[in-house]
A and B are shown apart, each in its own frame.
Chain A
Amino acid sequence: MSSETIWDKLQNIDRKVFYWILWIGLMIPFIRPIGLPISIAPSTRDLYNGLLTLEEGDVVWINIAFGVSAWIDCMPATVACTKVILRQGAKLIVVGAYTDADLSWDKLRNSVPDFDQLEYGKDYVYLGYYTGGEAVVAQIASDIRSVFPTDAYGTPLDELPLMKEVNSVHDIDMVLSGDTGDWGDYYMRQWASPYGIPMAEIGIAMLASSYMPFYKSGLLFGISSSSRGGAELEKLIGEPGEATVIMDALSVSHLMVIAAVLLANIGYFATRGRRR
């Protein structure tokens, strides 16, 4: 034991020490904000520019395929995109693929003041929760009413002015899928690829990696990655929101991760000779 060096000791720190450092470190930037500038990723800018091509009366389908647990990752970008869509004069249809979809819809509805100037049923509609994986996405493409005979509040679709003319994927002009899992794949395979409908992804950060080849091959016109993408979109529309606020905390926590990696590798190389 007497031959134990500082590096050996560092390699054997109790993991709870790390947890506490991270937890406290995350809070400091909220109390003392830093306000570092953020740059815009090309995929986020393309998403924003794609939304600006919408014309009055276009119908946009937003799929909320994330639960409350991923609100911080996907909701800020969804909110920013919704604001752009409504300001372009486009109509909105929102659906939710998680059982807590109603909560996500409430959150979206309350985070976008533009809804207050619009009329439910005419300018926007919430169809509610649906499940069934790829089969249900393909079925909505052929016949929306077979999956959503009514909206989430029990009103038959034919009684909603917006839905009178919307029967299938042919009546939709754009899709945005907010995802933590596979639903974006389903929409790409069953909507974007066979029908050529413009589609963008608002995903958790890992999906920005997984879906990058789809963006490169032109199937997705844009990708927003996690809260960082949300902050970039908030910057693009000039309305800082929830994502912008946590960017400083991300800076501190990411720095801590880098410090941990560096320290671990210095320790590893410092003790490697002795281990051999």
Chain B
Amino acid sequence: MAYPTAPLEVLGLWTGWLLMLMIYSYPLYKENIVFRWAEHTYIAVMLAVNLVMMVTNVNRIAIQPMLQGQIHYIIPIILGLAMYTLLVADYRWISRYPIAVLVGAGFGLGMRGVLIPNLLDQVVSTITPPAGGAAMDWFNFIYIAIGTICAVSYFLLTYEHTGALRYPTRLGRWFIMIGLGAYFGNTVLFRLSMLSGRAQFFLQVLKIIPM
């Protein structure tokens, strides 16, 4: 992508650059007026984007089909509007019906969905020995099998972790810590990756590096 030349694009680029500095004035300096202004600007424009998307999408998936003869779409439209009774204390109970539809569909799909990929597949994968005979494959298989059993036992919250459960649960906590350590390492990658992108943008707008 080349550095823009159209005046509105250049203005946009510098606007974005200034807004970025305003936001970073908070961590790099302290909370101040320009940071709060930029923060409120973001909330405003994000809400506007959400609202515009809501209007266009509801029109596309509900209103237009209804106008074209699928009259029953009036039901979800009314139920959707009923959600807004949440804002009126006396009629708040009406909003429970659309919530019931969302919760019923959500739980029904979620519960039936987790059975195979999250439970069955994971158990099968844990206890399936490696096809090859390499020593490292067997080590990894035993590590994962023992680790998973011990870590799951750590979540046996209805029993006190004493007696026979004492050592497996303690070992399980170590396996969980290793997992969380790797997760933390990946979190560092994610956050610093995003920040690197901003540092790059900072230099690009100043034309110190090419865009």
A binds B: yes
Residues on A close to B: CB < 8 A?
A: 16, 19-20, 22-23, 26-27, 30-31, 69-73, 99-100, 110, 128-131, 133-135, 138, 146-150, 154, 186, 188-190, 192-194, 204-206, 208-210, 213-214, 216-219, 225-228, 245-246, 249-250, 253-254, 257
Contact digits for B168-199, partner A, Cβ 8 Å, 1 yes 0 no: 00000000000100110011111011111101
6 contacting pairs across A/B (C-beta < 8 A):
A72-B197, A129-B56, A188-B117, A193-B117, A193-B121, A217-B124
Q: Is the CB of B188 within 8 A of A254?
A: yes
Which of B65, B110, B114 is in CB contact (< 8 Å) with A149? B65
With A129-B53, A134-B110, A135-B109 already in contact, the answer to whether A23 and B196 are too (CB < 8 A) is: no
- Which residue of A has the minimal Cβ distance to B194? A72
* Contact call A189/B113, Cβ cutoff below 8 A: yes
CA distance A227 to B117 in the complex (A): 27
- Asked whether A213 and B197 contact (CB < 8 A) given A206-B190, A250-B189, A257-B192, the answer is no
Q: Which of B65, B105, B124, B199 gathers most chain A CB within 10 Å?
A: B199
Least Cβ–Cβ distance between A43 and chain B, in angstroms:
12
B187 partner, pick from A19, A154, A205, A216, beta carbons under 8 A? A205
| A34 CB to nearest chain B CB (Å) | 13
Contact A253 B192 (CB under 8 A): yes
Complex contacts, B109 vs chain A, CB 8 Å: 134-135, 138, 189-190
The number of residues on chain B lying at the interface, defined by a beta carbon within 8 Å of a beta carbon of chain A, is 49
Between B125, B202, B208, the greatest number of chain A beta carbons within 10 A of the residue's beta carbon is seen for B125
Residues on B with C-beta less than 8 A from A19 are 27-28
Give bound CA distance, A38 to B192, whole Å.
17
If A72-B196, A135-B109, A190-B113 touch, does A205 touch B186 (CB 8 Å cutoff)?
Answer: yes
Report chain B residues within 8 Å CB of A135: 102, 105-106, 109
Query: How many Å lie between the Cα of A217 and that of B123 in the bound state?
Result: 9
Minimal beta-carbon separation of B39 from chain A (angstroms): 14
Q: Looking at the assembled complex, report how far the CB atom of B71 sits from the nearest CB atom of chain A, in whole angstroms.
A: 15
